Structure 1
Amino acid sequence: MVECFSINLIDVESRLDPNYYRLEFLEIMDRFNDSEFQFKTLKEISSKIKSGSTPKSGGPAYVNAENGIPFIRSGDINEYNSINFNKILYIKPEVHNNSLKGSKLKKGDLLIALVGATIGQVSVYNDENEANINQALALVRLNEEINPEYVKIFLLSKLGQLQLNRIKRPVARANINLEEIGGINILLPPIEIQNDIARKMENAYKTKKEKESKAFEILNSMEDFLFQELKIRIPKSREKMTFVVGSDDIEGRLDPFYYKPLFNELYSELINNESLNTKKFGTEIESIINGMDYREFSDIGLNYLRVSNIKPFEIEYSDVKKINLPITDIKKDIQLKKGDILLTRKGTYGIAVCVNADLDDIISSEIFRIRLKQDINKKYVEIVLNSSIGKLQFDRNKIGAIMGSLSQESIKNLLLPVPPIEIQENIIKEFSYKMSESTKLQEEGNKLIFETKNEIELILGV
């Protein structure tokens, strides 16, 4: 929707982009001035505001986890302060101590995403170990009398996010600079209130995590049920540093990872069990196609689904991007129909969801649209692809060491067990029930976080 407004010349600051002067942003200072608490800028309450830099991708600066320093990027952080150290990059200690010494992290440092899809995300680094950041993150080292958890909570509040939304530049790849980060205002109640707010939020996060753990247990039991119904064993081989492969078993790949005994166990289970009627997935596929690459995002238009929007069994729309492009202008046949399978192919690869209705959503080039033949149960396929049966095969067939990806050919070569239809339907029925129970727990956790944030905003009067 087109917005038209005027401002006085005296109100024009260093920025000339119209978005910066929208009415909701101009009213921000009134809300600070009306508060019973004092406020200061991040620059005034911190001793350091700094971003890192990024060594050349795949270059000599990177090393394995055992010999390296955690290198945290904007996509690695979240409001729960949880970083998956198994999925991040690592840099050499000499890079950490020399060219990137200015962006070394300390426990309690505030992290703010400056660019890209996660712009405006805020976290606190709570690990004792050394770490570093790339240029897409700001490190804010707060003064000792300020609770970093409180500042994080404030920046994630409506008033905090309004400020971040104001200063980010509405271009193809939105960004914020460090000077603008330093100019963000923070309401500062007494430290006792800051600590109390941090405790409230911590308790809410803890309860949410407990509910998610129960939900995860339910999801895990779903896989046990799947293997029980298919009458196959879940491969549980220990990781082996050395193993022998016969020359007759060598295929087109020469990397040792491809021949791990764990993969061979799964293939043996699938092939040798005649009741499974195991087929090459390609024989059940009518068509498979990549989506389209598009970077010019808009506030209106069609939903543009990226890898981050594809979750097991669902499409997540909370952070979906939009593209202002008529669907009739898209020449590529990537429309989504009920029963299509969406499968992520790059980065977080091998995540599948079955489309439940015809959609006008557009998928990115890093997602496959798989259209199956009419005589196979689409929901059953979705379940198998998201199980260890799919995951182990995806892991085996991926290409690329740093950011794995899947090819169309590797998808067609997947082994798919196709048991009698009554077994498929029994699996789907049990999965539907357990998914409902799991979803209920997750929704309860999300509701608690929402209610706690509202309670905190009432305390702050924002």
Structure 2
Amino acid sequence: MSNIKKLLEGVEVEWKTLGEIAENVSSGGTPNTGVEAFYGGNIPWLRTQEVGNGDIWSTSIKITELGLKNSSAKIIPANCIIVAMYGATVGKVGVNKIPLCTNQACANVQINAKIANYRYVYHFLLSQYKYIKSLGAGSQTNINLKIVKSLLIPIPCPNNLKKSLEIQQEIVRILDSFSMLTAELQTKLQAELQARKSQYEYYRNQLLAYPMEESDQSSLRSNRSATSIQNSDTLMQPLSTLNPHTGNSVLQPRGKVEWKMLGEIGTFIRGNGLQKKDFMENGVPCIHYGQIYTHYGTFATKTKSFISKETANKCKKAHKGDLIIASTSENVEDVGKTVAWLGDDDVAISNHTFIYSHNQNPKYLAYLFQTQAFLKYKKTKVVGVKVIDIPQKALESFCIPVPPLEEQERIVSILDKFDALTTSLTEGLPKEIELRQKQYEYYRNMLLSFPKNNIKA
């Protein structure tokens, strides 16, 4: 930092508009939707919602040459600054690292390299996000090309462009290094998190994958039709005694188990009557079905939301030890997601949920709902296309191993440790990245806070 301070010491600064330091500023265009010939080509086409304060290496949609001709979009070269002008991302900035075209809600700025370093301008515009957004109008504070062109950029040593570019490059070097450290940390921690999750899932599936004895199969066949045991082919697989990654032996289930359908050992009650609009800051604790797969983990003792006593009187309630199961979702992975309620107070439940009352270890059952056996089973039972549901009868027919309560407790204690480790890493990841981001912003503001005493009227 001492070197950059020397470079900035006594430096004259001139504020120029983005239009003055750009070779070209343009917006993109969108081919007519619904025309198959315009899409599925090899030309990357960027949408406004894909601009998110960072480098852009790919796009989710590609168009054809015919699609490009039928829009006002032009292919822009790499290393342009792209500013989102409409929608939820208005004011956000990106840099395209590949040639591409954009939709009409993007401002594409090609910087004149003889005047300014494009990454210097990029970092400065990042620092102006709130200001740029405030310049807009309409319900989503949209901006336009005129506003983008008028944005002011500080140019150090305007009368000595060689020195000016040297200063800009040094600022870029420092800020890019902080950005790179943040990106590397995010990649590293996400890899660690995935490895931890994989390890946790491996042990969970191993501990809960009881081999089914012949006597259990005979008993089940005598009481139910073979079609009711959809998950038996998975559960009958012999339990591996070795971790395939390390070769070490794993903790295995102990003791004899009985195989029961969930409907035999508990009761399902469908939730009712609770909507998001009923939420309050205080009151009776409640759980909405959407929160089960977006907020809660394996178990919960406190709720995120509350409702009034009047609303709660109309709702079904889960008691301590009950499972709360999401019966509806937009995908198969989330439907059937389960949280064990371990709070002392009864909790109100929304529609699109089931309450499962039983006399087993609630965490043991909740962990069973996370296994590959249940995932495979529910894939054959869900109904719907855009909205996915799992019927009550399907849940009642799901067959599980029921060991003694002491063995359930032993398994839960092991899985709780893995769950805690994974949760701590999940919570620590965004906190650490947030600290790095604040560090970057601190130095960015220090390096780019030039006095505004030379602004053209």
TM-score per shorter chain, which class?
A: 0.5 to 0.7
Equivalent pair of 2:86/2:142 in contact (CA under 8 Å):
yes
Paired residue for 1:178? 144
Report the counterpart of residue 236 of structure 1 in structure 2. none
Letter in 2 for 1:52: G
Retained in 2: the 8 A contact 1:41–1:186?
A: yes
Residues 207 and 313 (structure 1), Cα distance of their counterparts in 2 relative to 1, 3 Å cut: same
Q: Are 1:431 and 2:409 counterparts?
A: no
Corresponding residue to 2:106 among 123, 138, 146: 138
Confirm whether residue 79 of structure 1 aligns to residue 53 of structure 2.
Answer: yes
2:109 equivalent to 1:125: no
1:320 corresponds to: none
Aligned pairs for 1:29-44 within 5 A: 37-44=13-20
1:222 aligns to 2:192 (yes or no): no
**Pairing 1:27-176 to 2, within 5 Å after superposition:** 37-46=13-22, 47-53=24-30, 55-56=32-33, 60=36, 69-81=43-55, 88=60, 90-100=61-71, 102-104=73-75, 106-126=77-97, 128=98, 131-135=100-104, 137-145=105-113, 146-157=116-127, 159-167=128-136, 169=138, 171=139, 174-176=140-142
1:407 to 382, 389, 405: 389
Out of 314, 326, 345, the position equivalent to 2:329 is: 345
User: Structure 1 residue 210: deviation in Å?
Assistant: 1.9
Q: Check 1:70–1:305 CA distance in 2 against 1; reply closer, same or farther (3 A cut).
A: farther
Partner of 1:310: 294
- Work out whether residues 86 and 141 of structure 2, in 8 Å CA contact, stay in contact via their aligned partners in 1: yes
Matches of 1:220 and 1:61, distance apart in 2: 42
Partner of 1:27: none
Alignment correspondent of 1:245: none
Higher normalized strand content (fraction of residues):
2
Residue 378 of structure 1 deviates from its aligned partner by: 6.6
**Structure 1 residues 198 and 117, CA, compared in 2 at 3 Å: closer, same or farther?**
same
Q: Distance in 2 between matches of 1:330 and 1:144?
A: 63
Q: Is the 8 A contact 2:80 2:110 kept in 1?
A: yes
CA distance 1:456–1:409, shift in 2 (3 Å): same
- Alignment of 1:194 with 2:172, yes or no, is yes
Alignment of 1:249-398 (within 5 A): 268-270=233-235, 277=259, 285-287=268-270, 310=294, 313=297, 345-346=329-330, 350=334, 354=339, 371-373=355-357
Q: Deviations over 1:126-160 (max 9, x none)?
A: 2x4x644445x514232142444444433333x33
Corresponding residue for 1:448? 436
* Maintained 8 Å contact 2:289/2:326: no
1:10 matched residue in structure 2 = none
Question: Where in structure 2 are there 5+ consecutive unaligned residues?
Answer: 1-10, 157-166, 212-226, 239-255, 278-287, 299-306, 451-457
Deviations 1:384-411 (A, max 9, x none): 66665676678775865xxx65235499
SS where residue 15 of structure 2 aligns?
strand
Q: Tell me the residue number matched to 1:25.
A: none
Measure how far apart 1:368 and its partner are.
Answer: 5.8
Contact 1:343 1:349 survives alignment (8 Å): no
SS at match of 1:156: helix
Q: Quick one: distance in 2 between partners of 1:43 and 1:457?
A: 23
The answer on whether the counterparts of 1:219 and 1:438 sit within 8 Å (CA) in structure 2 is: no
Deviation at 1:431, TM superposition (A): 1.0
Aligned residue in 1 for 2:448: 460
Distance 2:270 2:207 in 1: 29
1:49 and 1:178 in contact (8 A); partners too: no
In the TM superposition, what is the alpha-carbon distance from 1:100 to its structure 2 partner?
3.6
Tell me if the contact between 1:290 and 1:368 (Cα under 8 Å) persists in the aligned partners.
Answer: no
Tell me how many residue pairs correspond in the alignment. 366
Q: Take 1:84 and 1:267, find their aligned partners in 2: how far apart are those partners?
A: 44
- Out of 181, 188, 197, which is 1:210 matched to? 188
CA distance in structure 2 between the partners assigned to 1:276 and 1:115 by the alignment: 60
Q: Is the 8 A contact 1:39 1:188 kept in 2?
A: yes
Say whether the 8 Å CA contact 1:216–1:438 is kept in structure 2. no
Letter in 2 for 1:102: A
2: distance between equivalents of 1:454 and 1:272? 56
The residue type paired with residue 168 of structure 2 is I
Contact 1:285 1:370 in 2 (8 A): yes
Amino acid at match of 2:182: A
**Structure 1 position 348, deviation (Å):** 11
- Counterpart of 1:43 in 2: which secondary structure? coil
Counterpart-to-counterpart distance in 1, 2:13 and 2:319: 53
Q: Tell me by how many angstroms 1:347 deviates.
A: 7.8
Q: Which amino acid in the other structure matches residue 20 of structure 2?
A: E
TM-score by length of 2: 0.58
CA distance in 2 between partners of 1:353 and 1:185 (Å): 52
- How does the TM-score come out when normalised to structure 1? 0.57
Q: Which amino acid aligns with 1:48?
A: V
For residues 438 and 177 of structure 1, do their structure 2 counterparts lie closer, same or farther at Cα, with a shift above 3 Å needed? closer
Indicate the percent of aligned positions where both proteins have the same amino acid. 15
For 1:453, give the aligned amino acid: E
